[in-house]
Every structure is written in C-alpha cells, then in structure tokens.
Structure 1
Amino acid sequence: MQFSICYGAYPTKDVFYHLEKVKEHKLDGLEFYRWWNLDVVKVEKEINRIGVGFNSICTNYISLVNKSNREEYKSCLLKTIETAKRLGVRSIISQTGDFLPGVPREIQLSTMIETLKQCSSFCEESGIVLEIEPLNSLIDHKNYFLTKSSEAVEVIKNVDSPNIKICFDIYHQQISEGNIINNITEYFNYINHFHFADNPGRTEPGVGELNYSNILTTIKNNNFNGFIGLECKYTKNTDKCIDDFKQKYINKILKEKICII
C-alpha cells in the first residue's frame, strides 16, 4: 500500500511546499482537490523536478443526482481526466451532490447510476479510476446525498465498471454508520482508496475513538495495494504528527506478521 498527505496539511503553504514535504517524509503522493485553480503547466514541471506528484485530484463539484447537470458533469470530468493524464494521476474523487427535496431517492439514485455509466467509458479508456465518496451529513456535509457505504456499493454494482469505485473515508463512515472493520472487509473489492482521520474532530489517527492499528491491520490483511491518504487536521506540528503516524502505524503494522482480527 501507499501513503499520501492532503493539500492543507501545512496551512498557508502552497502546493509546491506540500510536494517537497511528501518527498521529505518519503511518502508516495499528495492529494489535491481543486486542480482548476492551479497553473497545471507549472505543476507538471515541479512534479518532474521534485520527483513526487499527485495521487488523486477531484472532479468539479457538480451534482450526480440531478439529471439536468449530467452533461456539465461529463464535460468537466473529461477535462479532469485530461489533467490527470498530464500529471500522472491515477484516481479522481467525485462527490455526489446534495439530496434534492421533492424528488424520490430512487430517482436520484438511478440518475447517478446512469450518469456514472455514461462516464465509465471515459475512465476505462484512460485507465483512471473515478471514485465516488460517501460523506457524513450529520456534522460536515448537511443534506449530502450519499452517506452509507452499502448504498455506494449498490451504485458501483449497477454501474458495473472496473474503473468506478469508492473512496472510503473512515472518519465520515464512523459518523454515518460505524462498523468500520466489518464494512471494509465486506466491501473491500469495491474500494480504491482510503482516507484516514480520527473522530471526533477529524484529527490525525490515534487521538480519538478509532482503533487505527486494527483498521490498518485489516486493510493490510486484505492485501490492499492502493493509496491511504491522511485527510485530517493536526493537533500538533504537522511534521511531528506525520512522523508519529509513520512510526506507530506504517513502520509497526506493516512490518508485523499478518494476524487475524
């Protein structure tokens, strides 16, 4: 498996500073969100110079559950795919949009599935994975449509493409549904990417209620070879937190013999 930090880990610092920190900490990538705010030509040059790059970016925040937004979503995704190819990015994260009042949930689900089906060929042709991300609607994203991992899996099954998968954000799923280890195990084949943060507070792993030693061991036991991103706030110096995470989790868990939880 590979590890990344997310843009914003070093508040007030630019994207190039973050890339240098990825290299300094011997991690594998940087997650960036709004690529459309970047000078892509300059970023490409700096990635080549520094020797590390982005592991994921987001596509534009356009509703997947509103049929009237379908063509705009597809157009923006195509632009995101072109940027991803240019920067060597292998996964694109998509949010789903908010629940539409007055529209049956089943209709919104079928709209999302159909839009993703129409997008799947773009992803398959490019070799890039599009990840839909369930988020919690209780604290951080009021009225967000997709909150449960089980529903996300049903969407993926209906789209039926190897290039449409899930970004499983453990912080959000702890708030939305709990049962983290069982859900990771049950839905593992549909997950392309994990986000780590503790709860409450979306802080770095190890300061809240989640047992990240057991969670990471579960992911390891399933032979995961994708990215795990630290998408969290830090309760102390960012460099210290990253070093602690590497020591407590990466260096310790990944060197242990596989055990059954």
Structure 2
Amino acid sequence: MLKYSLCIGAYPGEDVFGHLEKVKDHGFHGLEYYDWTELNLEQVAKAQSRIGVGITATCTRFFNLVNPKLRESYLQGLSETIEACKKLGTPSIITQTGSVMVDTPINIQQEAMVETLKRSAELCEKAGVVLEVEPLNGLVDHKGHFLQYSDQAVSIVDQVDSPHVKLLFDVYHQQITEGNVTRNATNFCNRINHYHIADNPGRHEPGTGELNFGNILKAINKTGFEGFIGLECSYTVPTDQAIDSFKKTILQYVE
C-alpha cells in the first residue's frame, strides 16, 4: 500500500506542529521537513507521539557529493543529521549531489560520489536509516546540478551496493529531464526509496498539468512499492481543497 506525505510549506504560515496536525487530518502518513536544524527536536518528538504521525524525511546538512575535498565535511553533516533522525524516528535522509565541477572530468566526479556514498552507507547502516540520492532537472530549476538522469543515478546506487543508499525519484524533475516517467519510475522501483510528485509545468499539485498521476501511481502501486509518495508541490487553490481534490479525483482510483 502506498503511503503519502506532505511537505513543509504546504500550509504557509503554519509551523511543524500545524503541518503534523494537517497530515493527521487528511489521513496521510508523514511530513517531510527539510531543515531539521530549525527544530527543537525534543518538542517535535513529543508532538509526533501525541499526534500519531511524524517526520518521515529530512535533508543532509550539506549538499556536495562530487568534490572529494568536501567529503569529510559532508560526512560530518550526515552524522549530525543521523543523530537528529534518531531523536525523531525519521527513517530517510534526502541528499542532492552538488553542481558539476567544470574543470574536473565527469568520471572523476562520479567516482568521488560513489566513494562518499559508500562511506555514507556505513553510517546509515549502523543507524538503520536510508540515504536518498535525488536527481534534479537542470533545464528549469537547477542549472548545473550534477545528477539529473535516472539511469545515471541507478548506476551510482548500484556501484554503492547498499540497501541504505537508494534514490528519491522526483516525478516533476524527471518529466522535465527525460520524460518516460512511468517506465523509469517502475523499472527502477527496487532502487527507489521514495517518490516526490508535482505536476508540470508549474510544479503545482497533481491534476493541474500534463502528467496523468492516476496512471503513474497505479503503475507504482502495482510494483508492490510500500514507501512514501511526497506531495512536493505548490498549490493553485487553498491546500485543503487541493488535497481533497487529489484524493477524490486521483487516489480513489489508485488502490
């Protein structure tokens, strides 16, 4: 069964506690909160216990996997993030890769990434968390980002060869970068720990653009995937209205 998460910022002006309440109200399963350093971890842990839902993903403190000179800084930030995850019961940590170093051969950067991720896997395995590597589109939102294509991302994860390093497949980004979303989202599902969804163009809620999320989510569901689908989008109407519409027009046809 697919699980659904909201992302911080879904309700402008609401803090983490308000967002957790909204997750519960909508019958969803978790909240993604990207900058854990903003939080009082003890207070949030108590609120999660009271409300019955929690933070299911956060981000590393520092994004750079391609520069070996920054490896130790990256690993230190990851270690600090893992400790925060232990306090919150958060199972997943999102990372991006950093921008291409124009004066360094691509294969050298990729080798550096694999080595850093192997070191990261050791830390994550001890803590029982998964590090999620996220490709981003370089055409609209993240010009110069190193990792953009899903097959390239899969090849890196396969070289790391750890169940504690997987992919975050963002449907919006991959639609812009390469299309072929349903095939890639399902063919690579055993390397994917988490999906993000937003429509294109605009990165608004599903149902506002060119993507058929009913079919995409049905296909993912048929693979047996049991992880999170995160609504990482902005909203064209009040958020409650948009989520109710998403459930009525898309989710009820998925299961």
For 1:48, the equivalent position in structure 2 comes to 49
Distance 2:47 2:188 in 1: 37
Contact 2:42–2:87 (CA<8 Å) still a contact in 1? no
CA deviation string 1:11-47 (max 9, x = no partner): 1211111011001111100001010111112111211
Alpha-carbon deviation of 1:250? 2.0
Are residue 240 (structure 1) and residue 255 (structure 2) matched? Answer: no
For 2:29, the equivalent position in structure 1 comes to 28
Write the letter of the residue equivalent to 1:185. T
For 2:85, the equivalent position in structure 1 comes to 84
Alignment of 1:1-261 (within 5 A): 1-254=2-255
Alpha-carbon deviation of 1:85? 1.4
Write the letter of the residue equivalent to 2:18. Y
**Farther off after superposition, 29-38 or 41-50:** 41-50
Alpha-carbon deviation of 1:61? 2.8
Contact 1:3–1:29 (CA<8 Å) still a contact in 2? yes
Distance 2:130 2:139 in 1: 28
Distance 1:246 1:176 in 2: 27
Alpha-carbon deviation of 1:148? 0.4
Alpha-carbon deviation of 1:203? 0.5
Distance 2:254 2:47 in 1: 33
**Farther off after superposition, 54-63 or 171-180:** 54-63
Runs of 5+ in structure 2 lacking a partner?
A: none
Q: Number of residue pairs matched?
A: 254
Distance 2:31 2:189 in 1: 23
SS in 1 for 2:229: strand
SS in 1 for 2:203: coil
Question: What is the TM-score with the length of structure 2 in the denominator?
Answer: 0.98
Contact 1:205–1:212 (CA<8 Å) still a contact in 2? yes
Runs of 5+ in structure 1 lacking a partner?
A: 255-261
Alpha-carbon deviation of 1:101? 1.3
Distance 1:163 1:24 in 2: 31
Contact 2:7–2:230 (CA<8 Å) still a contact in 1? yes
CA deviation string 1:128-152 (max 9, x = no partner): 1100000001111111110000110
Alpha-carbon deviation of 1:165? 0.3
Distance 2:41 2:127 in 1: 19
Distance 2:63 2:157 in 1: 19
**Farther off after superposition, 193-202 or 114-123:** 114-123
Superposed CA RMSD in Å reads 0.9
Alpha-carbon deviation of 1:60? 1.4
Distance 2:61 2:249 in 1: 35
Contact 1:6–1:30 (CA<8 Å) still a contact in 2? yes
Distance 2:133 2:115 in 1: 14
Write the letter of the residue equivalent to 1:144. H
Distance 1:143 1:210 in 2: 25
Contact 1:70–1:115 (CA<8 Å) still a contact in 2? yes
Distance 2:252 2:186 in 1: 22
Write the letter of the residue equivalent to 2:92. S
Write the letter of the residue equivalent to 2:198. A
**Farther off after superposition, 14-23 or 43-52:** 43-52
SS in 1 for 2:244: helix
**Farther off after superposition, 236-245 or 37-46:** 37-46
Write the letter of the residue equivalent to 1:71. E
CA deviation string 1:52-102 (max 9, x = no partner): 111111111331001111001111111111111111111110011111111
SS in 1 for 2:139: coil
